A and B are shown apart, each in its own frame.
Chain A
Amino acid sequence: MRRRLQIVAGAALALAVCAVPVGAYLKLGTRVGTRTESLRWRQFPIRYFVTDASVPGVTSQQFQGAVTRAFTTWQAVENTETSSTFVGFVQARPFVEDGANVIGYLSQPGQDRTLAATTFTVDETDGRILESDIYFNTIFPWSTSEAGGADRYDVESIALHEIGHLLGLSHSALGESELTGGGRRVIAAESVMFPIAFTRGNISDRELRADDIAGISDIYGTTTFSREFGSISGRVTKSGSGVQGAHVVAFNPRSGALVGGFTLNENGDFVIAGLEPGPHVLRAEPLDDGDTNSFFDDDFDVDVDFRVAFYEKVVAVPRGGGARNVEIKVLPK
Protein backbone atom coordinates (compact mmCIF):
# COMPACT_ATOMS: atom_id res chain seq x y z
CA MET A 1 0.00 0.00 0.00
CA ARG A 2 1.47 3.34 -1.00
CA ARG A 3 0.88 6.55 0.84
CA ARG A 4 2.14 10.04 0.25
CA LEU A 5 3.54 11.95 3.21
CA GLN A 6 4.74 15.51 3.44
CA ILE A 7 7.44 16.89 5.67
CA VAL A 8 7.97 20.61 5.77
CA ALA A 9 10.88 22.66 7.04
CA GLY A 10 10.20 26.31 7.64
CA ALA A 11 12.18 29.48 7.50
CA ALA A 12 10.65 30.90 10.62
CA LEU A 13 7.79 28.60 11.36
CA ALA A 14 7.55 24.91 10.69
CA LEU A 15 4.37 23.28 9.51
CA ALA A 16 3.07 19.75 9.51
CA VAL A 17 4.82 16.46 9.95
CA CYS A 18 2.41 13.88 8.66
CA ALA A 19 4.10 10.82 10.00
CA VAL A 20 4.40 8.89 13.18
CA PRO A 21 7.45 9.55 15.32
CA VAL A 22 9.27 6.39 16.31
CA GLY A 23 12.08 7.31 18.61
CA ALA A 24 14.62 9.94 19.19
CA TYR A 25 15.64 12.87 16.96
CA LEU A 26 12.73 12.09 15.68
CA LYS A 27 12.67 9.34 13.10
CA LEU A 28 9.73 9.22 10.75
CA GLY A 29 7.52 6.21 10.85
CA THR A 30 4.29 4.70 9.72
CA ARG A 31 1.86 2.56 11.66
CA VAL A 32 1.51 -1.01 10.50
CA GLY A 33 -1.26 -2.56 12.54
CA THR A 34 -0.26 -2.15 16.16
CA ARG A 35 3.43 -1.58 15.50
CA THR A 36 5.32 1.35 14.02
CA GLU A 37 7.81 0.98 11.21
CA SER A 38 10.58 3.50 10.66
CA LEU A 39 10.65 5.08 7.25
CA ARG A 40 13.84 4.13 5.49
CA TRP A 41 15.34 3.42 2.15
CA ARG A 42 16.00 -0.22 1.46
CA GLN A 43 17.79 0.21 -1.85
CA PHE A 44 20.94 2.19 -2.48
CA PRO A 45 22.17 4.29 -4.11
CA ILE A 46 19.29 6.74 -3.92
CA ARG A 47 18.96 7.99 -7.48
CA TYR A 48 17.91 11.62 -7.66
CA PHE A 49 17.21 14.15 -10.38
CA VAL A 50 17.48 17.93 -10.23
CA THR A 51 15.02 20.22 -11.97
CA ASP A 52 16.79 22.14 -14.67
CA ALA A 53 15.80 25.59 -13.50
CA SER A 54 17.54 28.61 -12.07
CA VAL A 55 16.61 31.31 -9.61
CA PRO A 56 18.29 34.71 -9.25
CA GLY A 57 21.83 34.14 -8.04
CA VAL A 58 21.81 30.35 -8.39
CA THR A 59 22.14 28.38 -11.62
CA SER A 60 20.84 24.83 -11.89
CA GLN A 61 24.44 23.58 -11.86
CA GLN A 62 25.22 25.51 -8.70
CA PHE A 63 22.04 24.23 -7.14
CA GLN A 64 22.89 20.64 -8.08
CA GLY A 65 26.42 21.07 -6.69
CA ALA A 66 25.05 22.23 -3.33
CA VAL A 67 22.55 19.36 -3.20
CA THR A 68 25.25 16.82 -4.03
CA ARG A 69 27.51 18.23 -1.30
CA ALA A 70 24.64 17.86 1.17
CA PHE A 71 24.10 14.22 0.16
CA THR A 72 27.84 13.63 0.53
CA THR A 73 27.81 15.09 4.04
CA TRP A 74 25.17 12.58 5.16
CA GLN A 75 26.97 9.73 3.42
CA ALA A 76 30.21 10.62 5.19
CA VAL A 77 28.79 9.73 8.60
CA GLU A 78 30.93 6.90 9.89
CA ASN A 79 29.42 3.50 10.50
CA THR A 80 26.36 4.17 8.35
CA GLU A 81 25.40 2.81 4.97
CA THR A 82 23.76 5.30 2.64
CA SER A 83 24.67 6.32 -0.86
CA SER A 84 23.20 8.44 -3.63
CA THR A 85 23.69 9.17 -7.29
CA PHE A 86 22.83 12.28 -9.22
CA VAL A 87 21.20 10.95 -12.38
CA GLY A 88 20.75 14.18 -14.33
CA PHE A 89 18.78 17.36 -14.90
CA VAL A 90 15.12 17.02 -15.77
CA GLN A 91 12.25 19.30 -16.63
CA ALA A 92 10.05 17.55 -14.08
CA ARG A 93 9.13 19.45 -10.95
CA PRO A 94 9.21 18.08 -7.43
CA PHE A 95 6.06 17.03 -5.56
CA VAL A 96 4.74 14.94 -8.44
CA GLU A 97 4.36 11.25 -7.74
CA ASP A 98 6.17 9.95 -10.79
CA GLY A 99 8.54 7.33 -9.40
CA ALA A 100 11.51 9.69 -9.64
CA ASN A 101 13.21 11.50 -6.76
CA VAL A 102 13.22 15.09 -7.92
CA ILE A 103 14.84 18.03 -6.16
CA GLY A 104 14.15 21.50 -7.45
CA TYR A 105 12.34 24.78 -7.05
CA LEU A 106 8.67 25.50 -6.67
CA SER A 107 6.98 28.80 -6.17
CA GLN A 108 4.77 28.46 -3.09
CA PRO A 109 3.65 31.97 -2.16
CA GLY A 110 0.96 30.51 0.05
CA GLN A 111 3.64 28.96 2.24
CA ASP A 112 5.44 32.14 3.14
CA ARG A 113 7.20 30.58 6.13
CA THR A 114 8.32 27.45 4.39
CA LEU A 115 11.77 27.52 2.89
CA ALA A 116 11.69 23.98 1.60
CA ALA A 117 9.80 20.75 2.05
CA THR A 118 10.11 17.03 1.47
CA THR A 119 7.46 14.53 0.41
CA PHE A 120 7.52 10.77 0.40
CA THR A 121 5.77 7.88 -1.19
CA VAL A 122 6.13 4.96 1.16
CA ASP A 123 5.09 1.35 1.32
CA GLU A 124 2.93 1.36 4.41
CA THR A 125 3.36 -2.35 4.98
CA ASP A 126 7.02 -2.06 5.90
CA GLY A 127 7.97 1.64 5.97
CA ARG A 128 10.05 1.39 2.82
CA ILE A 129 10.52 4.74 1.06
CA LEU A 130 9.67 4.42 -2.61
CA GLU A 131 10.04 8.01 -3.73
CA SER A 132 10.94 11.34 -2.21
CA ASP A 133 10.93 14.84 -3.64
CA ILE A 134 12.29 18.07 -2.22
CA TYR A 135 11.28 21.54 -3.22
CA PHE A 136 12.90 24.88 -2.44
CA ASN A 137 10.47 27.77 -2.30
CA THR A 138 11.35 30.40 -4.91
CA ILE A 139 9.67 33.17 -2.95
CA PHE A 140 12.88 33.31 -0.87
CA PRO A 141 16.30 34.48 -2.07
CA TRP A 142 18.87 31.69 -2.40
CA SER A 143 22.63 31.45 -2.53
CA THR A 144 25.29 28.82 -3.09
CA SER A 145 28.15 31.18 -2.31
CA GLU A 146 30.95 29.42 -0.44
CA ALA A 147 30.90 32.00 2.32
CA GLY A 148 27.13 32.37 2.29
CA GLY A 149 25.23 35.04 0.45
CA ALA A 150 24.36 38.21 2.28
CA ASP A 151 20.65 38.30 2.97
CA ARG A 152 20.11 34.98 1.18
CA TYR A 153 19.37 31.49 2.41
CA ASP A 154 22.04 28.90 1.89
CA VAL A 155 20.97 26.11 -0.46
CA GLU A 156 23.46 23.60 0.95
CA SER A 157 22.35 24.15 4.57
CA ILE A 158 18.68 23.79 3.73
CA ALA A 159 19.40 20.83 1.45
CA LEU A 160 21.21 19.12 4.31
CA HIS A 161 18.09 19.51 6.46
CA GLU A 162 15.71 18.31 3.74
CA ILE A 163 17.89 15.34 2.80
CA GLY A 164 17.80 14.40 6.47
CA HIS A 165 14.02 14.14 6.02
CA LEU A 166 14.47 12.30 2.74
CA LEU A 167 16.55 9.73 4.62
CA GLY A 168 13.87 9.27 7.28
CA LEU A 169 14.65 11.77 10.00
CA SER A 170 12.06 14.11 11.41
CA HIS A 171 12.72 17.26 13.39
CA SER A 172 14.98 17.68 16.38
CA ALA A 173 14.07 19.98 19.25
CA LEU A 174 17.68 20.67 20.13
CA GLY A 175 17.54 24.43 19.94
CA GLU A 176 16.22 27.56 21.54
CA SER A 177 13.88 29.99 19.85
CA GLU A 178 11.89 33.08 20.63
CA LEU A 179 8.58 34.37 19.46
CA THR A 180 8.72 37.23 17.00
CA GLY A 181 5.99 39.20 15.34
CA GLY A 182 5.33 36.70 12.61
CA GLY A 183 6.42 33.45 14.14
CA ARG A 184 9.57 32.12 15.75
CA ARG A 185 13.19 33.02 15.41
CA VAL A 186 15.90 30.54 16.28
CA ILE A 187 18.39 31.80 18.87
CA ALA A 188 20.68 28.80 18.77
CA ALA A 189 20.47 25.16 17.72
CA GLU A 190 22.62 22.09 17.85
CA SER A 191 20.99 20.02 15.16
CA VAL A 192 20.64 20.51 11.44
CA MET A 193 17.22 18.92 11.90
CA PHE A 194 15.94 21.72 14.13
CA PRO A 195 12.75 22.86 12.38
CA ILE A 196 13.56 26.54 12.22
CA ALA A 197 16.33 27.62 9.89
CA PHE A 198 19.12 29.98 10.81
CA THR A 199 18.85 33.49 9.44
CA ARG A 200 19.89 34.54 5.96
CA GLY A 201 23.58 34.38 5.19
CA ASN A 202 24.25 31.79 7.91
CA ILE A 203 26.04 28.64 6.72
CA SER A 204 26.43 26.90 10.11
CA ASP A 205 24.04 24.17 9.07
CA ARG A 206 26.36 22.81 6.42
CA GLU A 207 27.79 20.60 9.17
CA LEU A 208 26.03 17.78 10.94
CA ARG A 209 25.95 17.78 14.73
CA ALA A 210 26.06 14.90 17.19
CA ASP A 211 22.25 14.81 17.28
CA ASP A 212 22.00 14.42 13.49
CA ILE A 213 24.72 11.79 13.44
CA ALA A 214 23.03 9.81 16.19
CA GLY A 215 19.75 9.95 14.28
CA ILE A 216 21.05 8.83 10.91
CA SER A 217 23.19 6.16 12.58
CA ASP A 218 20.14 4.80 14.36
CA ILE A 219 18.42 4.26 11.01
CA TYR A 220 21.31 3.21 8.79
CA GLY A 221 23.98 2.15 11.28
CA THR A 222 26.25 -0.78 10.51
CA THR A 223 27.00 -3.62 12.89
CA THR A 224 30.05 -1.63 13.97
CA PHE A 225 27.75 1.17 15.05
CA SER A 226 25.59 -1.26 17.03
CA ARG A 227 28.68 -2.67 18.68
CA GLU A 228 30.36 0.63 19.48
CA PHE A 229 27.51 2.90 20.54
CA GLY A 230 24.82 2.66 23.19
CA SER A 231 21.48 4.00 24.28
CA ILE A 232 19.52 5.31 27.25
CA SER A 233 15.91 4.43 27.83
CA GLY A 234 13.49 5.35 30.55
CA ARG A 235 10.57 7.53 31.46
CA VAL A 236 9.75 11.12 32.27
CA THR A 237 7.17 11.32 35.03
CA LYS A 238 5.24 14.04 36.81
CA SER A 239 3.53 13.16 40.07
CA GLY A 240 3.95 9.51 39.17
CA SER A 241 2.33 9.71 35.74
CA GLY A 242 4.08 9.66 32.38
CA VAL A 243 4.75 12.90 30.54
CA GLN A 244 4.06 12.72 26.81
CA GLY A 245 6.05 14.82 24.37
CA ALA A 246 8.83 15.81 26.77
CA HIS A 247 12.15 16.65 25.17
CA VAL A 248 15.00 14.73 26.75
CA VAL A 249 18.59 15.75 26.08
CA ALA A 250 21.59 13.52 26.76
CA PHE A 251 24.81 15.47 27.30
CA ASN A 252 28.17 13.77 27.30
CA PRO A 253 30.43 15.95 29.48
CA ARG A 254 33.48 14.14 28.14
CA SER A 255 32.89 15.01 24.48
CA GLY A 256 30.38 17.84 24.75
CA ALA A 257 27.97 15.95 22.46
CA LEU A 258 24.26 16.72 22.80
CA VAL A 259 21.66 14.27 21.54
CA GLY A 260 17.95 14.76 21.99
CA GLY A 261 14.93 12.54 22.11
CA PHE A 262 11.27 12.61 23.06
CA THR A 263 8.84 10.76 25.23
CA LEU A 264 6.50 9.24 22.73
CA ASN A 265 3.59 7.85 24.68
CA GLU A 266 1.39 8.47 27.69
CA ASN A 267 3.68 6.36 29.83
CA GLY A 268 6.44 8.91 29.22
CA ASP A 269 8.79 6.38 27.63
CA PHE A 270 11.83 7.54 25.72
CA VAL A 271 14.83 5.99 24.00
CA ILE A 272 17.91 7.91 22.91
CA ALA A 273 20.18 5.76 20.78
CA GLY A 274 23.44 6.41 18.95
CA LEU A 275 25.22 7.65 22.07
CA GLU A 276 28.94 7.45 22.62
CA PRO A 277 29.84 5.14 25.49
CA GLY A 278 30.47 7.18 28.61
CA PRO A 279 28.79 9.23 31.29
CA HIS A 280 25.79 11.31 30.32
CA VAL A 281 23.79 14.02 32.03
CA LEU A 282 20.09 13.92 31.23
CA ARG A 283 17.85 16.96 31.10
CA ALA A 284 14.12 17.00 30.44
CA GLU A 285 12.36 20.08 29.15
CA PRO A 286 8.93 20.93 27.80
CA LEU A 287 8.65 21.17 24.05
CA ASP A 288 8.28 24.92 23.89
CA ASP A 289 10.86 25.96 21.30
CA GLY A 290 8.74 25.33 18.28
CA ASP A 291 5.15 24.60 17.47
CA THR A 292 4.39 21.11 18.59
CA ASN A 293 3.04 20.23 15.17
CA SER A 294 6.56 20.76 13.86
CA PHE A 295 7.33 17.51 15.63
CA PHE A 296 4.17 15.49 16.05
CA ASP A 297 0.82 14.82 14.51
CA ASP A 298 -1.94 17.15 15.56
CA ASP A 299 -3.62 14.39 17.55
CA PHE A 300 -0.51 13.81 19.65
CA ASP A 301 -1.01 15.56 23.00
CA VAL A 302 2.17 17.24 24.20
CA ASP A 303 2.47 18.04 27.89
CA VAL A 304 4.39 21.29 28.32
CA ASP A 305 3.26 21.95 31.89
CA PHE A 306 6.42 21.07 33.73
CA ARG A 307 9.71 22.63 34.73
CA VAL A 308 13.08 21.84 33.23
CA ALA A 309 14.91 19.28 35.35
CA PHE A 310 18.06 17.19 35.41
CA TYR A 311 18.06 13.49 36.14
CA GLU A 312 19.35 12.82 39.64
CA LYS A 313 22.19 10.53 38.57
CA VAL A 314 24.86 10.38 35.93
CA VAL A 315 23.95 7.70 33.39
CA ALA A 316 26.78 5.52 32.12
CA VAL A 317 26.08 4.46 28.55
CA PRO A 318 27.63 1.08 27.79
CA ARG A 319 29.39 0.22 24.58
CA GLY A 320 26.97 -1.77 22.44
CA GLY A 321 24.23 -1.80 25.06
CA GLY A 322 21.67 0.26 26.84
CA ALA A 323 21.26 2.03 30.16
CA ARG A 324 17.68 1.30 31.15
CA ASN A 325 15.02 2.18 33.69
CA VAL A 326 15.95 5.83 34.01
CA GLU A 327 13.15 7.87 35.54
CA ILE A 328 13.37 11.63 35.25
CA LYS A 329 10.94 13.19 37.71
CA VAL A 330 9.70 16.64 36.79
CA LEU A 331 7.55 19.12 38.67
CA PRO A 332 4.52 21.01 37.36
CA LYS A 333 5.09 24.66 36.54
Chain B
Amino acid sequence: MTAAALRRRACAIAALSVGMLVVAGEQAAAQVPAPMPARPARFEVGGGGIFVGGYDLGTSTAELTPNGGTSNSFTLFTTDNEVRPVFGLQARIGVLLSSALVVEAGLRFARPVYEVRASGDTEGAPATTIEDTMSQYVFDGSVVWTPGNPYRRLSPFVFGGAGYLRELHEEDALVDDGFEYHAGAGVRWWFGEGARGLGLRAEGGFSIRDGGFDFEDGMRLVPIASGTLVYRF
Protein backbone atom coordinates (compact mmCIF):
# COMPACT_ATOMS: atom_id res chain seq x y z
CA MET B 1 0.00 0.00 0.00
CA THR B 2 1.47 3.33 -1.02
CA ALA B 3 1.54 6.31 1.21
CA ALA B 4 -1.06 7.98 -0.96
CA ALA B 5 -3.35 5.01 -0.71
CA LEU B 6 -2.96 4.93 3.04
CA ARG B 7 -3.94 8.61 3.23
CA ARG B 8 -7.05 8.01 1.14
CA ARG B 9 -8.02 5.08 3.37
CA ALA B 10 -7.38 7.10 6.48
CA CYS B 11 -9.49 9.91 5.09
CA ALA B 12 -12.23 7.45 4.23
CA ILE B 13 -12.19 6.01 7.75
CA ALA B 14 -12.21 9.48 9.19
CA ALA B 15 -15.12 10.50 7.03
CA LEU B 16 -17.02 7.35 7.98
CA SER B 17 -16.28 7.96 11.62
CA VAL B 18 -17.51 11.51 11.42
CA GLY B 19 -20.57 10.25 9.64
CA MET B 20 -21.23 7.68 12.34
CA LEU B 21 -20.70 10.27 14.98
CA VAL B 22 -23.19 12.55 13.31
CA VAL B 23 -25.71 9.74 13.07
CA ALA B 24 -24.98 8.67 16.63
CA GLY B 25 -25.29 12.26 17.70
CA GLU B 26 -28.67 12.57 15.98
CA GLN B 27 -29.86 9.36 17.59
CA ALA B 28 -28.71 10.62 20.94
CA ALA B 29 -30.53 13.91 20.36
CA ALA B 30 -33.72 12.12 19.38
CA GLN B 31 -33.61 10.10 22.54
CA VAL B 32 -33.39 13.22 24.67
CA PRO B 33 -36.84 14.86 24.93
CA ALA B 34 -37.37 18.54 24.25
CA PRO B 35 -37.00 20.46 27.44
CA MET B 36 -40.06 20.06 29.62
CA PRO B 37 -41.36 23.17 31.27
CA ALA B 38 -40.95 23.44 34.98
CA ARG B 39 -44.70 23.46 35.40
CA PRO B 40 -46.89 21.88 32.70
CA ALA B 41 -49.34 24.21 30.99
CA ARG B 42 -52.97 23.65 31.86
CA PHE B 43 -54.88 25.91 29.50
CA GLU B 44 -54.72 27.11 25.95
CA VAL B 45 -56.61 30.12 24.62
CA GLY B 46 -56.59 31.50 21.16
CA GLY B 47 -58.26 33.73 18.64
CA GLY B 48 -57.92 34.45 14.98
CA GLY B 49 -59.39 34.20 11.56
CA ILE B 50 -61.22 31.40 9.83
CA PHE B 51 -62.13 30.62 6.26
CA VAL B 52 -65.38 28.77 5.60
CA GLY B 53 -65.96 27.43 2.12
CA GLY B 54 -69.09 28.20 0.15
CA TYR B 55 -71.58 25.77 -1.25
CA ASP B 56 -73.93 25.54 -4.17
CA LEU B 57 -77.67 25.51 -3.53
CA GLY B 58 -78.59 24.61 -7.07
CA THR B 59 -81.11 26.12 -9.42
CA SER B 60 -84.72 26.88 -8.51
CA THR B 61 -87.46 27.40 -11.03
CA ALA B 62 -90.47 29.65 -10.57
CA GLU B 63 -92.82 27.49 -12.53
CA LEU B 64 -96.44 27.86 -13.57
CA THR B 65 -98.77 25.03 -14.49
CA PRO B 66 -99.16 25.12 -18.26
CA ASN B 67 -102.53 25.16 -19.92
CA GLY B 68 -103.44 22.19 -22.04
CA GLY B 69 -101.47 19.49 -20.29
CA THR B 70 -98.63 18.79 -17.96
CA SER B 71 -95.96 17.78 -20.45
CA ASN B 72 -94.40 21.20 -20.89
CA SER B 73 -93.54 23.38 -17.96
CA PHE B 74 -93.85 27.13 -18.05
CA THR B 75 -90.99 28.96 -16.39
CA LEU B 76 -91.63 32.43 -15.02
CA PHE B 77 -87.94 32.81 -14.10
CA THR B 78 -85.12 30.81 -12.58
CA THR B 79 -82.69 31.44 -9.77
CA ASP B 80 -79.16 30.10 -9.32
CA ASN B 81 -78.42 29.97 -5.62
CA GLU B 82 -75.20 29.73 -3.69
CA VAL B 83 -73.63 30.61 -0.38
CA ARG B 84 -70.33 32.34 -0.99
CA PRO B 85 -67.07 31.47 0.82
CA VAL B 86 -66.38 33.76 3.73
CA PHE B 87 -63.69 34.81 6.20
CA GLY B 88 -64.70 35.06 9.82
CA LEU B 89 -63.39 35.04 13.35
CA GLN B 90 -62.96 32.36 15.93
CA ALA B 91 -62.04 32.11 19.60
CA ARG B 92 -61.11 28.95 21.47
CA ILE B 93 -60.33 27.95 25.02
CA GLY B 94 -58.87 24.57 25.84
CA VAL B 95 -57.95 22.47 28.82
CA LEU B 96 -54.88 20.25 28.56
CA LEU B 97 -55.79 16.80 29.77
CA SER B 98 -52.21 15.81 29.10
CA SER B 99 -49.29 17.31 27.25
CA ALA B 100 -50.63 15.78 24.04
CA LEU B 101 -54.37 16.02 24.49
CA VAL B 102 -56.47 19.18 24.65
CA VAL B 103 -60.21 19.44 25.04
CA GLU B 104 -61.46 22.78 23.85
CA ALA B 105 -64.57 24.82 23.29
CA GLY B 106 -64.85 27.32 20.52
CA LEU B 107 -66.99 29.94 18.88
CA ARG B 108 -66.77 30.62 15.17
CA PHE B 109 -68.49 33.61 13.63
CA ALA B 110 -68.82 34.52 9.98
CA ARG B 111 -71.12 36.58 7.74
CA PRO B 112 -71.62 34.52 4.60
CA VAL B 113 -73.58 35.96 1.72
CA TYR B 114 -76.43 34.00 0.20
CA GLU B 115 -76.47 34.98 -3.46
CA VAL B 116 -79.33 34.51 -5.90
CA ARG B 117 -79.05 35.22 -9.59
CA ALA B 118 -82.53 35.62 -11.04
CA SER B 119 -82.64 35.27 -14.80
CA GLY B 120 -84.66 34.00 -17.73
CA ASP B 121 -87.69 36.08 -16.89
CA THR B 122 -90.55 35.36 -19.23
CA GLU B 123 -91.50 39.04 -19.34
CA GLY B 124 -87.99 40.30 -19.85
CA ALA B 125 -87.00 41.50 -16.40
CA PRO B 126 -83.25 42.06 -16.52
CA ALA B 127 -81.14 39.35 -14.91
CA THR B 128 -80.41 40.44 -11.38
CA THR B 129 -78.07 39.25 -8.67
CA ILE B 130 -79.53 39.71 -5.22
CA GLU B 131 -78.15 38.88 -1.82
CA ASP B 132 -78.90 38.20 1.79
CA THR B 133 -76.19 38.31 4.42
CA MET B 134 -76.40 35.83 7.25
CA SER B 135 -74.75 35.83 10.66
CA GLN B 136 -73.38 32.35 11.18
CA TYR B 137 -72.37 31.06 14.61
CA VAL B 138 -70.87 27.70 15.44
CA PHE B 139 -70.53 26.79 19.12
CA ASP B 140 -68.36 23.70 19.20
CA GLY B 141 -66.33 21.31 21.27
CA SER B 142 -63.19 19.60 19.97
CA VAL B 143 -60.49 17.19 20.95
CA VAL B 144 -56.99 18.07 19.76
CA TRP B 145 -54.30 15.43 19.84
CA THR B 146 -50.62 16.04 19.24
CA PRO B 147 -48.80 12.87 18.18
CA GLY B 148 -45.11 12.39 19.08
CA ASN B 149 -43.29 14.84 21.21
CA PRO B 150 -45.74 17.57 22.20
CA TYR B 151 -43.00 19.90 23.41
CA ARG B 152 -41.41 20.56 20.05
CA ARG B 153 -41.60 24.10 18.82
CA LEU B 154 -43.32 22.92 15.66
CA SER B 155 -45.84 20.25 16.50
CA PRO B 156 -48.48 18.78 14.25
CA PHE B 157 -51.89 17.85 15.56
CA VAL B 158 -55.18 16.40 14.49
CA PHE B 159 -58.57 17.47 15.72
CA GLY B 160 -62.22 16.50 15.61
CA GLY B 161 -65.40 17.61 17.23
CA ALA B 162 -69.00 18.67 16.93
CA GLY B 163 -71.02 21.78 17.47
CA TYR B 164 -74.28 23.67 17.21
CA LEU B 165 -74.82 25.76 14.08
CA ARG B 166 -77.01 28.84 14.20
CA GLU B 167 -77.60 31.10 11.21
CA LEU B 168 -79.50 34.35 11.41
CA HIS B 169 -80.62 36.05 8.26
CA GLU B 170 -80.49 39.78 7.77
CA GLU B 171 -82.04 41.75 10.62
CA ASP B 172 -82.22 38.45 12.51
CA ALA B 173 -85.58 37.83 10.84
CA LEU B 174 -85.08 34.16 10.34
CA VAL B 175 -83.17 31.51 12.19
CA ASP B 176 -81.85 28.30 10.70
CA ASP B 177 -80.03 25.95 13.02
CA GLY B 178 -78.49 22.54 12.96
CA PHE B 179 -75.46 20.51 13.93
CA GLU B 180 -71.91 20.69 12.76
CA TYR B 181 -69.17 18.05 12.80
CA HIS B 182 -65.57 18.85 11.97
CA ALA B 183 -62.19 17.19 11.63
CA GLY B 184 -58.81 18.10 10.27
CA ALA B 185 -55.14 18.58 10.99
CA GLY B 186 -52.74 21.43 11.61
CA VAL B 187 -49.57 22.59 13.25
CA ARG B 188 -48.66 24.75 16.23
CA TRP B 189 -45.48 26.78 16.28
CA TRP B 190 -44.38 28.08 19.64
CA PHE B 191 -42.37 31.25 19.90
CA GLY B 192 -40.57 29.88 22.95
CA GLU B 193 -39.44 26.53 24.31
CA GLY B 194 -41.58 23.98 26.10
CA ALA B 195 -44.82 24.33 24.14
CA ARG B 196 -46.16 27.13 26.26
CA GLY B 197 -46.54 30.84 26.09
CA LEU B 198 -47.39 32.41 22.76
CA GLY B 199 -47.66 30.47 19.56
CA LEU B 200 -49.31 30.26 16.20
CA ARG B 201 -51.75 27.64 15.14
CA ALA B 202 -52.74 26.86 11.58
CA GLU B 203 -55.20 24.17 10.63
CA GLY B 204 -57.37 22.94 7.84
CA GLY B 205 -60.09 20.40 7.48
CA PHE B 206 -63.73 19.99 6.69
CA SER B 207 -66.99 20.77 8.35
CA ILE B 208 -70.05 18.61 7.86
CA ARG B 209 -73.28 20.52 8.45
CA ASP B 210 -76.62 18.94 9.15
CA GLY B 211 -79.27 21.66 9.06
CA GLY B 212 -78.65 25.34 8.91
CA PHE B 213 -79.40 27.26 5.75
CA ASP B 214 -79.87 24.80 2.94
CA PHE B 215 -82.44 23.90 0.31
CA GLU B 216 -82.28 20.18 0.86
CA ASP B 217 -82.43 17.87 3.81
CA GLY B 218 -79.24 16.02 4.53
CA MET B 219 -75.68 16.94 5.22
CA ARG B 220 -73.27 19.09 3.28
CA LEU B 221 -69.51 19.36 3.49
CA VAL B 222 -67.60 22.62 3.44
CA PRO B 223 -63.84 23.14 3.73
CA ILE B 224 -62.55 25.13 6.67
CA ALA B 225 -59.15 26.63 7.43
CA SER B 226 -57.97 28.91 10.16
CA GLY B 227 -54.98 30.70 11.61
CA THR B 228 -54.93 31.74 15.24
CA LEU B 229 -52.67 33.24 17.81
CA VAL B 230 -52.60 30.95 20.84
CA TYR B 231 -51.40 31.33 24.36
CA ARG B 232 -50.76 28.31 26.55
CA PHE B 233 -50.30 28.70 30.29
Given contacts A310-B118, A314-B114, contact A189 B130 (CB under 8 A): no
Q: Which of A186, A251, A253, A310 contacts B215 (CB 8 A)?
A: A253
User: Using a CB–CB distance below 8 Å, which chain B residues touch chain A?
Assistant: 57, 60-70, 74, 76-77, 79, 81, 114, 116, 118, 121-126, 128, 130-132, 169-171, 173-175, 215
Q: At the interface, yes or no: A332 with Cβ under 8 Å from chain B?
A: no
* A contacts with B, residue count (CB < 8 A): 41
For chain A residues 274-329, which have a beta carbon within 8 Å of chain B?
277-279, 281, 283, 285, 307-319, 321, 323
Q: At the interface, yes or no: A202 with Cβ under 8 Å from chain B?
A: yes
**Which residues of chain B come closer than 8 Å to A323, judged between CB atoms?**
171, 173
Cβ-defined contact, B67 with A189, below 8 A:
yes
Cβ-defined contact, A307 with B74, below 8 A:
no
Q: In the bound complex, what is the Cα–Cα distance between A249 and B132 (angstroms)? A: 18
Q: In the bound complex, what is the Cα–Cα distance between A279 and B66 (angstroms)? A: 26
Q: At the interface, yes or no: A71 with Cβ under 8 Å from chain B?
A: no
Cβ-defined contact, B65 with A251, below 8 A:
no
Q: At the interface, yes or no: A187 with Cβ under 8 Å from chain B?
A: yes
Cβ-defined contact, A308 with B130, below 8 A:
no
Q: In the bound complex, what is the Cα–Cα distance between A126 and B62 (angstroms)? A: 37
- In the complex, what residue of chain A is closest to B70 when comparing beta carbons? A204
- In the complex, what residue of chain B is closest to A321 when comparing beta carbons? B173
Q: At the interface, yes or no: A199 with Cβ under 8 Å from chain B?
A: yes
- In the complex, what residue of chain B is closest to A310 when comparing beta carbons? B128
**Which residues of chain B come closer than 8 Å to A176, judged between CB atoms?**
64, 74, 76, 122
Q: In the bound complex, what is the Cα–Cα distance between A313 and B169 (angstroms)? A: 12
Q: Which of A188, A198, A281, A307 contacts B116 (CB 8 A)?
A: A281
Cβ-defined contact, A313 with B61, below 8 A:
no
Q: In the bound complex, what is the Cα–Cα distance between A209 and B76 (angstroms)? A: 15
Cβ-defined contact, A319 with B130, below 8 A:
no
Cβ-defined contact, B124 with A308, below 8 A:
yes
User: Using a CB–CB distance below 8 Å, which chain A residues touch chain B?
Assistant: 174-176, 185-190, 198-199, 202, 204, 209, 249, 251, 253-254, 256, 258, 277-279, 281, 283, 285, 307-319, 321, 323
Q: Which of A189, A283, A312, A316 contacts B174 (CB 8 A)?
A: A316
Q: Which of B60, B116, B123 contacts A285 (CB 8 A)?
A: B123
**Which residues of chain B come closer than 8 Å to A312, judged between CB atoms?**
128, 130
Please name 5 further chain A to chain B contacts, defined as beta carbons within 8 Å, in addition to the given A199-B68, A315-B132, sorted by A numbering: A188-B66, A253-B60, A256-B62, A283-B118, A319-B174
> Which 4 pairs between the two chains have the least Cβ-Cβ distance?
A316-B169, A188-B74, A314-B132, A253-B60
Cβ-defined contact, A189 with B70, below 8 A:
no
Q: Which of A175, A198, A308, A318 contacts B173 (CB 8 A)?
A: A318
**Which residues of chain B come closer than 8 Å to A313, judged between CB atoms?**
130-132, 170
CB distance from A210 to the nearest CB of B (A): 11
- In the complex, what residue of chain B is closest to A175 when comparing beta carbons? B64
CB distance from B170 to the nearest CB of A (A): 6
**Which residues of chain A come closer than 8 Å to B114, judged between CB atoms?**
279, 314
Q: In the bound complex, what is the Cα–Cα distance between A316 and B173 (angstroms)? A: 6
Cβ-defined contact, A309 with B118, below 8 A:
no
CB distance from A9 to the nearest CB of B (A): 15
Query: What are 9 A-B residue pairs whose CB atoms fall within 8 Å in the complex?
Result: A176-B76, A202-B69, A249-B62, A251-B76, A253-B79, A254-B60, A309-B128, A313-B132, A314-B116
CB distance from A257 to the nearest CB of B (A): 9
